[in-house]
Amino acid sequence: MEFTAIQIATFLGGTVEGNPETKVYNVAKIEEGAPGMLSFLANPKYEQYLYTTNSSIVLVNNDLKLQDKVSATLIRVPDAYAAFAQLLGLYQQFMQSKSGVSSLAFISKDATYGEDVYIGEFAFIGERAKIGNRVKIYPQVYVGDDCVIGDDTVIYAGAKLYAQTVVGKSCILHSGCVLGADGFGFAPQEDCSYKKIPQIGNVSLGDNVEIGANTCIDCATMGSTKIHDGVKLDNLIQIAHNVELGKNTAIAAQTGVSGSTKIGNNCIIAGQVGFVGHIHIANNTKIGAQSGILGSVKKEGEELMGSPAINLKDYLRMSVYTKNLEKLVKRVEQLEKQLKEKQQ
């Protein structure tokens, strides 16, 4: 599907510099552009590519001052990055405009679904499941008994929702994610074996939540493991039983959150962070990659790094000392040697 520069500019509220009838049919990075491609320039570090790119149309900021001739047609907008993201969203909607229920899907007789849904081949919808309007369920998705899925949610191929899982509106669940598997609960026995503790709770997701590929969110032992509105989880994350993630918290890949830990609103957590169980993390906390969180964070807005995690500024200061540790050790050894010589 092709779009002209003037059509794109009208949609974005921008202005065209160059041929308004220039057509594009796909998108590309500005440094990898080709004829028929749309690119954008937001970071000044990439401005050099603006003068050499083969892309047909480039989105740029209104305040950009050209340093050389440009062969591409330009569309000036207040924020090129935001405008490009807006176009990508429109493109994604077009590409995902699937609808209809496949004859190869299994839907229990007492399950219900709304209008304009898509349910792909070999999807399984369990008993008493309730699926909202405009929901897209791709092939081989498992939706267990008594699950509830809100309007406009997308569930990609191979995702698994155990019984009683609740998913809010406008959520995105990527391939391979598992919601509602048993929490890691075992009671030690006198003979050093373990007895499994039944996990009878569920997982509850708010609205506008995104769960990455192969991320696992365990059901609660009792009650709910709660993922509140706007939470964004990367791929390969483990969320244990009875954890609660506050609104608009974002967590990067390979992080693990132990059972019953509660993380506040608007937190940003980098990759490979480990949390012990039964602690509280205050709102607006930021935690650097590979940190180990061994206790509660009570002060809002803290920035932490390291294992065990400490204040970011202290961590950076210690990193400088660590780099010079070998020199410091040699210096101490030299001083000790001089002291011994004086004592003799």
**Burial tier of 175 (Cβ tally within 10 Å: 0-12, 13-18, 19+):** middle
Residues in the chain: 344
- Neighbour count for residue 306 (Cβ, 10 Å): 18
Round to whole Å and give the CA distance between 68 and 199: 65
| CB crowding 34-44: b at 16 or more within 10 Å, else e | eebbbbbbbee
Peptide bond into 188 cis (omega under 30): no
As annotated, the active-site residues are 241
Specify whether the CB–CB gap between 59 and 75 falls below 8 A.
yes
Q: What is the largest CA-CA distance in the chain?
A: 95
Round to whole Å and give the CA distance between 137 and 151: 12
First to last CA, the chain: 90
